[in-house]
Amino acid sequence: MEEEMMIQAKELAGGQWRRFFDALESADLPSDDIDLPNRAFFEFTRGGETVGWGGFETHGADGLLRSLVVEPAYRSKGVGAEVLRVIEAIAANQGIARFHLLTTTASGFFKQQGYAVNQRGSAPPLISQTEQFKGLCPGSACYMCKALSANARK
């Protein structure tokens, strides 16, 4: 039973993209650039039920966390933190050493997960040139960063 409750990640394909896009729209998250290169997006399930979606962009050793969305029925139950840990492990296993993100509403959540607030101008050049930084997220969005665990890459 415990294994059934673990979060499982499946890379998005086919018809899953529509559900992901709809989830982004309903959460007021940007979706204009999700089909650009160097992005990986996943559907997350637990016990056979979809609990959320999310993914990241890869820019060398840096990654940009993208669009973490938890289904409304699973919010405020620790699912977001579990999904984030899975995304971070996938990214670390692909060689990403640092995760960056922009948020307008969830800085408290990300602080609890070990992300630090930084000056937006301190982002590495490849991160600051992403669509998120250049215009999809407002200038008022909080820029945060976290070093990913080397243990996750082993």
Check residue 56 and give its pLDDT.
Answer: 96
Domain boundaries defined on the chain = 3-153
The CATH architecture annotation of domain 3-153 reads 3-Layer(aba) Sandwich (3.40)
Q: Quote the pLDDT of residue 152.
A: 53
Angstrom distance (rounded) from CA 80 to CA 52? 8
Strands (E), the chain: 7-11, 39-46, 49-59, 62-70, 98-103, 116-118, 142-147
Cβ-Cβ contacts under 8 Å for 12 (sequence gap 6 or more):
20, 41, 42, 43, 53, 55
Mean pLDDT (10-residue bins), the chain, 154 residues:
70 82 84 82 94 94 93 93 96 96 94 96 94 87 91 48
Distance separating alpha carbons of residues 137 and 67, to the nearest angstrom:
11
